[in-house]
Each structure stands twice: as structure tokens, then as C-alpha cells.
Structure 1
Amino acid sequence: MARGHSEKFRRTIAASARKRTETSGVLRGDKALIYEGELETMARFVTDYPSIETGGDLFGFWTHTGSPMIEYVLGPGETAEHDDAAFYQESSFLKSAGGILRDLHGLQHVGTWHSHHRLLLTEPSKGDSSTMQRALDKNGFNAWLLTICNFADKSDRVEMRGYLYGAQGGGEHQQLTWLILPGSSPVRTAMEAVKGFPRSEPRTLASTYEAIPSTTFALVAAAPQTASPTFPSSSFMATPEGRGELYRLSQELSALERDVEILQREDGRVSLSFHRDGYAFEVVFPHSYPVVKPVVECRPVDIPAGQEESWKTPRTLFVAMDRGDDVVTHIEELVTTFLVNREHTGSDAPRDRVG
């Protein structure tokens, strides 16, 4: 049987989510992050029902900038109701699948999706908006993502558009830009081996689709930069590949954290810097990167009185992983674990390295 995250990590994420709900309800992102494999799965479900509505649910988490990150697209249950202009999910199927996704991977129910097949309605209907707003307000959620799927005019290509609703928003919604991550969701891959998971698989083997509007980290990273650090000619960061990697990591981290900056230290090392919950974090890249791995350092933004000496050297949280690993996800897990542990211990004094 496949294993999910550790119990300690699930408690960490749950505590972080509670704190985020209490403090960041006004945040609103302008993007929805999703793996291309999950988009294709959604399109295949839509193609299963070319002339009636179908739908399902979206599981993932909310970034610190208020954007939904979709890790798993759930399709319709076996007894879900499909009509010309309505879809009703099977409640027991949703409850069972959602509970397992939460317990194994700490995922939250972040939204729903349904098709308008060939109704020529690319936006939420008034009924859709009323339903979304009632669900938000009844459950005390800060935000909710609704994805509308359509067949393109005179085509079998499935189009997906995402709309974000906010608490007490009166049904108002904002269309988001899809930020598409390459490949398959690691959660879907892991769930394939989980016995007892009430999975729903589309019958259609392949489907063409388009997420509207959309972008990728590669396109964002290729945007012109107004200022660039300088590096020794022998540095990997001085090469086009190295600069591209630095900006890609910067943009990936910016999707999850606010005000990410690229900084260069006096000794020439470059870092990605951001603040969260009163701490400054820096992902520091050594001169010999990628042979030598980067590290994550942190210190309080305002050092408590009496601790100046102990914080002269920042705390090293972790020696980061190899190139090709999901560096940003590991950074987020590490920072969240540190902050929750710090909150539980009630101490700002440096402790042994984590990781």
C-alpha cells in the first residue's frame, strides 16, 4: 500500500491551514496552479458526457498568495446525476474520497468543476454563482474555485475556465489564469496504489483540451528582467541555463510566497528571499552550485532583546535537495514545519538544524 505524508507533517499542514484561515482571508490570487495531467483527466471526463452535464471536485491547497493549487481532480461518482443543464455529485463518494485525500496527503477541498457541454455558456450561470456563494458562506470558507468546461464551437476540444469566489462576495467572481505545471500530479500517482480509494476513472482514453487563459513557469521566467545579479564567469549562474533556473525557481516560489526577491550578497552568492510570520528566509546558492547544494537560512525580522548574539549567524534549516527535485515544495514544507514548531515551543531562540 502506498504511504502518504507522515502524521507529524499532516499535523503541521493542518495547523498552518488553521492559522492561514484566521489571518489571510482577504488574500486573493490571480492564478490557479494545476498539473497538465489533471487538466487532461478533467477533459476526458467531460468527453465521456458530450451532450449532458458532468462534473466533480477539486482537491489541493491554498498558497500564501491566495491561489488554489490543484493536486487531484475527482470525477463523478457512480450514482451522480447528469442532466442537460445540471449535475449533482454523489455525496457519499465525495465524502469518502475527500476523507482519504485529506488523511493521506493533507489535501483540502478547494473547489468544484462541471461541464456546460455545448450550451455556449463559458461563464458560471446565475444558479452556479448562487450555489457557490451559499456553499462558501455556509461552510465559512474564505474562497472557492469553480471550473467551467465547454466544448469549443464545432469541435471536440474541451475548454476549461476557472473562477474564484470570495466569502460574503454576493456571487461576484474573478476569472483566474491557469498556471500549468508539467507532467502528472504526484498525488494521483501515489493514489493509484491505495487500496479502498473510491477512484473514478474516465472511460475516454484521450481528449484534446485548452485551459483559458493559461501560462507556464517557463514563459513567466522568460519575461524580461529589469535587474540582474552578476556572477564570476566560471559560475553556473553566469550561464543562460543557470539564470533560467534561478528565475524559474523565483517564479515558482512567488506563486506560493509574497514579495520574493533575488538578492546578491557581498561575497557574490545569490539567494531567493521572502518573509513570513515575522521571519526572513533565504534560499542561498553557493558559488559552486549545482555541485554544492543550496541551503535555507532564517532569522527573525526583529531579533528579540537579549538574543542578538545568538542570531549573529542565521539558522540553517536544511541542505536542499538535488536539481530536478521539487525544490520549492520541499522549501514550503520546511518553512511551514519550522514556523509551526516555533509556535508550539513559544521560543525564538535558535535550535538544532531541521531536516
Structure 2
Amino acid sequence: MARGHSEKFRRTIAASVHRRTETSGTSRGDKALIYEGELETMARFVTDYPSIETGGDLFGFWTHTGSPMIEYVLGPSETAEHEGAAFYQESSFLKSAGGILHDLHGLQHVGTWHSHHRLGLTEPSKGDSSTMQRALDKNGFNAWLLTICNFTDKSDRVEMRAYLYGAYGDGERRQLTWLILPGSSPVRTAMEAIKGFPRSEPRTLASTYEAIPSTTFAVMAAAPQTESPTFPISSFMATPEGRGELHRLFQELSALERGVEILQREDGRVSLAFERDGYAFEIVFPHSYPVVKPVVECRPVDIPAGQEESWKTPRTLFVAMDRGDDVVTHIEELVTTFLVNREHTGSDAPRDREG
């Protein structure tokens, strides 16, 4: 859908809206889980239409972290409309197939896919993003997955990329990493025996493909694991209560910020770290916490030229946090205030300590 034909798409999605179960809260997942057999099926559909757009729909569910798990890739109906820069699924076909997948396997309509064949556009077009956002908001969804498929330059290999949209996100999306599960989807195997299911099958028998970027559970398990932090025996963080408090704060902060990490400095102090809007923030806990309060430090992720010396010491934003306070709420308010003030002042130069 390289140009926006959004009204027909929104009507088609609305036809299946009653089969959609909402994700809870803001979607934070950074993976899209899918069986390798479903990726191959999608690639075969794309190969059926090498010079015009094709597409279909994605059925599955949402994990507790907000990642889509795709159990079934639905292809185009026989009467779907294929154009050089647009694709329209037949709404009655989608409604019927989605209803059966929901009733038999509890699957939700989690997204759509379409090809840009050889247009050279590996990301959603502006029309795509506008259409996805309006359909998502109009139907009250919290998240929506769009997969874009392309042929590699001068090759028949199909590349597939996954993009996640959020409610009221102004068309912004983020690319997900495919987490590929081995073999075939058990749902596809089960649906082969269901009479009356309006399935569509690709004409192409085999296709080469690449999901970009991708990983597997085996690769993730083999990756080096970060060592757990160690603390002086007298440290509060060395006690079960202290570790429990650190873990609770980590979970609460992770519910609001992406990519939160537990770090330990050379001097043994532990911190909760995350990035937002070009700044790195760390909530640093001293060894004598909770007697001595934690601080929040920040610095630009990319330090502006000419300011390297002034940013050798990070800016301390907060020094008045008490144990028992709603720490995460205080941190969020502090970070937001800092970023808003930075926008108003237009300065990245560090200033005096606050708090």
C-alpha cells in the first residue's frame, strides 16, 4: 500500500473488530513471534504477485509483554484487489476467516501484511502509516502490527520486516525483531481439516525469504548472560529485602520505559538505567541506601561537539527521594520536567544540580 487508500482498508478492518481482544495497556514488546512455516507461506504469496501488491492478515495473540505472536497468516481472497501500489482484502472473506479462527482457536486479528514487490520501499509509506493509525484509533485497538514484504534487488528472495503501531501514536511505528519458532504452526495444521474455512493457498510451491532482523530462542539462550550484581555484605542491597526492592523498582520502571537495565559501577554501586529522547538516565543507589538517598543522573546519549569536557560529570537531577515514596512516579515526573525544560531552553549544556 504505497499510497493511501485508507477508507476501504478501515471498513475491512472494522468488519473483524468484534473478533479482536484488546491488549492491556501500552504495548512494549520488541519482538514479533512467528513460526517459520508462516513466514514461508507469506513469502510464497508475495512470489505469486511479482509486479503488483498483494497482502493479507495476521492472526494470533499478544504476549504479556505486548509482543504479537502470529499463529496464522491469511493470504488474499480470490476477489481481493491487487494494484501496482495498493492492495485491498475482501471484507467478507476476512470476517469469515477471522471468525472461524477466533471460535476454534481463540485467535485475535493482530495485524496485516502487504508487499511492495520491487518498489524499493522497505518501510511503511506515509499513506500506510496514516491508514494504520486511523484504523487502529477508530476501532479502539492498543496496538497493530504491519508487515512489509519486498523482493531483494535483482533477486526473487523475499524480505519481511515487522512494524508496530500504538494507539494515538500519530503514525509513529517501531521495527520489531522477528523471533522465529521452528516448524509449522499447529493452527495451520489443524485448519487443514476444517471444512468451510475460506482458506487461500499460494500458487508458488517454494520461495526463499529472509525475516529482517530475526533471532530464535536458541540464539537468545546462547548469548552471554550478564552477571548479577554483587554488594558489600553490609549493604542493604545484599539482603533479600534490598534485592526484592531493587527488582520491584526495575519492574515498575520497565512498565513505563523501554530497555531498562540494572547496571553496576566499578565502585560497586548499582543503578537502573534507561534512555529517552536522546538522554541517558541512571537512578544510582549508594551502598548506604536507604540511609543515604539515591540520585538521578543524566547526560546526552550523543554529547554535542564542544561539550565533551562539561559532560564528563553527569548532571544530577534529584537528591530528595525517600524510601517509601512512589519512587517510579517521582522519577517519571522528574525526567519529563527535565525534557520539557530542555525543549524550552534549547540548551544541552549541564547546569547546577537540582533537587
TM > 0.5 between the two?
yes
Q: Once the two structures are aligned, what percentage of the paired residues are identical?
A: 92
- My pick for the range that moved more, 182-191 or 299-308, is 299-308
Give the root-mean-square deviation of aligned CA atoms.
14.9
| Alpha-carbon distance in 2 for matches of 1:316, 1:16 | 51
The alpha-carbon distance between structure 1 residues 147 and 21, as it changes in their structure 2 partners (threshold 3 A), is: same
What SS does structure 1 have at the residue aligned with 2:296? Answer: strand
CA distance in 1, matches of 2:19, 2:344: 12
Measured in 1, the distance between the counterparts of 2:5 and 2:331 equals 15
Structure 2 counterpart SS, 1:170 = coil
- Deviating 4+ runs (over 4 angstroms): 1-23, 227-355
Structure 1: gaps (5+ residues): none
What is the CA distance between 1:27 and its match in structure 2? 3.0
Q: Aligned-pair distance for 1:225?
A: 1.9
Q: Residues 261-288 of structure 1, C-alpha deviation per residue, up to 9 Å, x if partnerless?
A: 9999999999999999999999999999
> What is the count of residue pairs matched by the alignment?
355
Structure 1 residues 37 and 13, CA gap change in structure 2 (3 angstroms): same
Contact in 1 for aligned 2:179/2:216 (Cα 8 Å):
yes
Check whether the contact 1:93–1:198 (CA below 8 A) recurs between aligned residues. Answer: yes
Q: Render the CA deviation track for 1:324-348: whole Å, top value 9, x for unaligned.
A: 9999999999999999999999999
1:145-204 Cα deviation digits (max 9, x unpaired): 000000001100000000000000010000000000000000000000011100000000
1:46/1:64 CA distance change after superposition, 3 Å: same
Deviation, structure 1 residue 226: 3.2
Q: Alpha carbons of 1:321 and 1:215: their partners in 2 closer, same or farther (altered >3 Å)? A: farther
Q: Distance in 1 between matches of 2:337 and 2:14?
A: 11
Query: Following the alignment from structure 1 to structure 2, what is the Cα–Cα distance between the partners of residues 84 and 122?
Result: 15
Gaps of 5+ in 2: none
Quote how far apart the aligned CAs of 1:28 are: 1.6
CA distance in structure 1 between the partners assigned to 2:278 and 2:262 by the alignment: 19
Tell me the CA shift for residue 253 of structure 1. Answer: 20
| Distance of 2:97 and 2:344 partners within structure 1 | 31
After TM superposition, the score normalised by the length of structure 2 is 0.60
Q: Structure 1: how far apart are the matches of 2:124 and 2:104? A: 32
Could you tell me whether the CA contact under 8 Å between 1:65 and 1:256 is conserved in 2?
A: no
Distance 1:162 1:94, change over 3 A: same
Tell me whether 151-160 or 269-278 shows the greater mean CA deviation.
Answer: 269-278
Find the aligned partners of 1:2 and 1:290 in 2 and give their Cα distance: 56
- Aligned counterparts of 2:81 and 2:129: Cα–Cα separation in 1: 20
| Contact persistence 2:129–2:171 (CA under 8 A) | yes
SS at match of 1:22: coil
Name the SS of the counterpart of 1:128 in structure 2: helix
- Between the aligned partners of 2:103 and 2:229, the Cα distance in structure 1 is 43
Task: Please identify, of 198-207 and 327-336, the stretch whose mean Cα deviation from structure 2 is larger.
Answer: 327-336
Distance 1:38 1:152 in 2: 19
Residues 55 and 255 of structure 1, relative CA distance in 2, 3 Å threshold:
farther
